[in-house]
Amino acid sequence: MKKPSKKSYQHTPDTRTFRLEYGPHVRYLPAALVAELTGVSVKTVYKWIAGTHPMDSRTRQVLYTRALGLLPCPRWSDWHIDETGRLTAPNGWSFYPDELMGLSYIKQHNGDLQATVARLTVENRQLREALDYVQAKRWPSNVIPLPLAHRQAHTKPG
């Protein structure tokens, strides 16, 4: 008598399941679920399974996104959306949508702050130039500055 194999469980797909594969990601989905995700009839899904009717590339991309959580676009390669709804980067960092909105706010706020710093830098330079001009200006000998005139008026001669 033959001994049972000690291999790990391997899924043997039913003829009624749809095999969805993208790189190393493979899922076997029931025809009803594929129909619901793509907005087609179950009969159309059975045609896809049988191979008698080709699937549209946009429909396949919808399945990659909705069933596997992948983003089938070259700029988003290796990014995916996990079961909890977090967008996961290739380096392992993951984000919820509200966290991404916070990053957008920080980026906008940083731009506003940089514009304010630039404006204040120009204003500061103009004020320093005006101050240097006033400090460097020599008063004519016949003009006495007001604070000095005020002090001289109250001092007693002699």
Q: Residues 106-153: pLDDT tens digits?
A: 888 888 999 999 999 999 999 988 888 777 776 666 666 666 555 555
DSSP bridge pairs for 94: 88
Instruction: Give the tens place of pLDDT for each residue, 55-96.
Output: 888 888 888 888 888 777 788 878 888 778 888 888 888 888
CB-based burial label for 82 (10 Å; 0-12, 13-18, 19+): exposed
pTM of the complete model: 0.46
Could you tell me where the DSSP H helices lie in the chain?
Answer: 31-38, 42-50, 57-63, 97-136, 146-154
CB-based burial label for 24 (10 Å; 0-12, 13-18, 19+): exposed
Instruction: Give the tens place of pLDDT for each residue, 4-49.
Output: 545 444 555 555 788 888 777 788 889 999 999 899 999 999 999 8
Name every residue whose Cβ is closer than 8 Å to that of residue 125 and which is 6 or more positions away in sequence: none
